[in-house]
Amino acid sequence: MKDWKFCPRCAAETRLSGDGEDTHVECPACGFTKYDNPLPTTVGLILDGDRILLLRRAHEPRKGGWDTVGGFLSGAESAERNLIREGLEEIGCELVNLRFAGSYSSVYGDTGLTTIGFAFTCQLPPGAEIVLSEENSGYAWFRLDDRPPLAFADCEAAVSDLATLTSRTGSA
């Protein structure tokens, strides 16, 4: 929010108002108000039994870190449609059997952009062949209870919750 120095409507200088979670930018000249609303994203928890597919990031933020399939929603997209599109773009596979698993807040790397990740468990169709896009440099299947740390807090929380649930119930 500190970067909003000038109003996008009238170019007047803005001011920070409120505090804590209510902090927002106001323009005293025209009344424009901008809250720090999170950007919606998806988190694809692609499962094969007790294993999860993770991707190695090829670009910043968090280059080299492990991540899930997913991404930022466009304006006219549902979370489910976004995740299916991201699966096709990132690994060349249409994801199937999507089931909502929860929502998780995060920050996108060092950008300061807050996000809200909508997590879904899902699977690859039978016989699917993974073909990585340039966004990722590798992939691997990991057991839910024996995986590396993930690049983003929303993905880490979603996978941790899933691993905890799976250990209690014995199934993903």
What phi and psi values does residue 81 have, to the nearest 5 degrees?
-65, -40
- Walk me through the domains of the chain, giving residue ranges and CATH numbers: 1-35 (no CATH), 39-169 (3.90.79.10)
Name the residue among 98, 10, 80, 93 with its Cα closest to residue 40.
80
pLDDT (tens digit, 0 to 9) for every residue of the chain, 172 residues total? Answer: 778 899 999 999 999 998 877 889 999 999 999 988 999 999 999 999 999 999 999 999 999 999 999 999 998 999 999 999 999 999 999 999 999 999 999 999 888 889 999 999 999 999 999 999 999 999 999 999 999 999 999 999 999 999 999 887 766 6
Q: Please report which helix (H) or strand (E) contains residue 119, including its range.
A: strand 114-123
Name the residue among 172, 104, 101 with its Cα closest to residue 142.
172
| Backbone Cα Rg of the chain | 19
Half-sphere exposure of 53 (CA within 13 A, CB side): 24
